[in-house]
């Protein structure tokens, strides 16, 4: 009778919970999560260095880095490759693609950070991290999580849009509708009483679908 191997499935981090702390070796030296307190952070994993989709993603992540910084947001990559592999790959990207990768990359050889963040999904790959994106706010709370499979490169405009949507929601106490982009109207919180609902539909400063769905422009 074959012995069944029990696999330990780590619990996945959740939106709204504190980001798991870490201290990691990176291409910019040792970095701790707490180093990012006061900034937003896009922490992302990729499956492996020197692979085609990941190479396109790295050049694309670099292309949005300055726009992220304008939003007080840092970028930090991760894979289970070694530090020397990361260094060789970013040099290769610079030589062949003319793109200098300016953000740090964690060399998570022992998978410590990858397990804490649920970046290993054994059904997709037993050894590599999937394409995960964690948006962590300036108080180190996980605000959004995106997972992509090995075969599909991520959409950088969506990552930027999501950071912008979260920061806009925080700043103006609003929500953002489907396909929202900066400059579009935002959704005001729905009334919580019958009286407030009756008042809401009379307020012509809002564009209302009905009392529970009203939009306004931001100044
Ligand atoms: C890629 O980046 O091309 C890739 C990496 C791991 C598995 C499949 C594709």
Contacts of range 184-188, beta carbons closer than 8 Å, 24 or more positions apart: 185/215, 185/216, 185/217, 185/218, 186/215, 186/216, 186/217, 186/218, 187/213, 187/214, 187/215, 188/214, 188/215, 188/216
CA distance 97 to 180: 32
- Where along the chain do its domains lie? 2-154, 173-219
Average pLDDT over residues 197-216: 96
- Candidate from 45, 48, 126, 129 with most ligand 1 atoms within 8 A of CB, to mutate: 48
The predicted pLDDT at position 6 comes to: 46
- Candidate from 81, 125, 129, 150 with most ligand 1 atoms within 8 A of CB, to mutate: 150
CA distance 158 to 155: 5
Active site residue 54: yes
- Cα of 170 vs centre of ligand 1, distance in Å, is 36
218, 206 contact by CB (below 8 A): no
pLDDT digits 0-9 by tens, 18-38:
999 999 999 999 999 999 999
Average pLDDT over residues 173-181: 98
The class that CATH gives domain 173-219 is: alpha beta
Who lines ligand 1 at CB under 6 A? Answer: 47-48, 51-54, 150
Using the predicted structure, report yes or no on whether residue 1 has a pLDDT greater than 50.
no
- Cα of 147 vs centre of ligand 1, distance in Å, is 14
- Cα of 194 vs centre of ligand 1, distance in Å, is 54
C-alpha gyration radius of the chain: 21
- Cα of 128 vs centre of ligand 1, distance in Å, is 10
Kindly state the percentage of the chain with pLDDT values over 90: 94
The predicted pLDDT at position 205 comes to: 93
Fold annotation for 2-154: Glutaredoxin (3.40.30)
List the catalytic residue out of 19, 31, 33, 54.
54
Tokens 């529970």 label which residue? 212
The predicted pLDDT at position 12 comes to: 85
Structure confidence at residue 10 as a pLDDT band (50, 70, 90): low
Using the predicted structure, report yes or no on whether residue 4 has a pLDDT greater than 80.
no
CA distance 33 to 54: 23
CA distance 166 to 204: 26
Structure confidence at residue 54 as a pLDDT band (50, 70, 90): very high
Structure confidence at residue 3 as a pLDDT band (50, 70, 90): very low
Residue 190 is given by DSSP the state: P
Tokens of 215: 């939009």
Nearest CA to ligand 1 atom 7: 150
Using the predicted structure, report yes or no on whether residue 2 has a pLDDT greater than 50.
no
Average pLDDT over residues 95-112: 98
pLDDT digits 0-9 by tens, 131-144:
999 999 999 999 99
The predicted pLDDT at position 5 comes to: 41
pLDDT digits 0-9 by tens, 70-92:
999 999 999 999 999 999 999 99
């Amino acid at each position: 009778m074959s012995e069944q191997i029990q696999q330990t499935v780590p619990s996945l981090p959740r939106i709204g919970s504190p980001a798991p702390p870490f201290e990691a070796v990176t291409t910019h030296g040792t970095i701790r999560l707490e180093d990012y307190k006061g900034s937003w952070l896009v922490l992302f994993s990729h499956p492996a260095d020197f692979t085609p989709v990941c190479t396109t993603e790295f050049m694309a992540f670099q292309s949005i880095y300055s726009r992220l910084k304008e939003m007080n947001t840092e970028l930090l990559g991760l894979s289970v490759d070694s530090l020397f592999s990361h260094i060789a790959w970013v040099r290769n990207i610079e030589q062949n693609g003319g793109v200098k990768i300016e953000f740090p990359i964690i060399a998570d050889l022992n998978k410590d950070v990858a397990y804490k963040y649920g970046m290993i999904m054994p059904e997709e790959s037993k050894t590599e991290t999937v394409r995960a994106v964690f948006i962590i706010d300036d108080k180190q709370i996980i605000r959004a999580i995106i997972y992509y499979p090995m075969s599909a490169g991520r959409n950088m405009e969506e990552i930027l849009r999501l950071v912008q949507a979260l920061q806009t929601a925080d700043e103006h106490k609003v929500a953002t509708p489907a396909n929202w982009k900066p400059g579009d109207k935002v959704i005001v919180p729905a009334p919580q009483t019958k009286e407030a609902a009756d008042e809401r539909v009379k307020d012509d400063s809002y564009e209302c679908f009905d009392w529970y769905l009203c939009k306004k422009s931001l100044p």
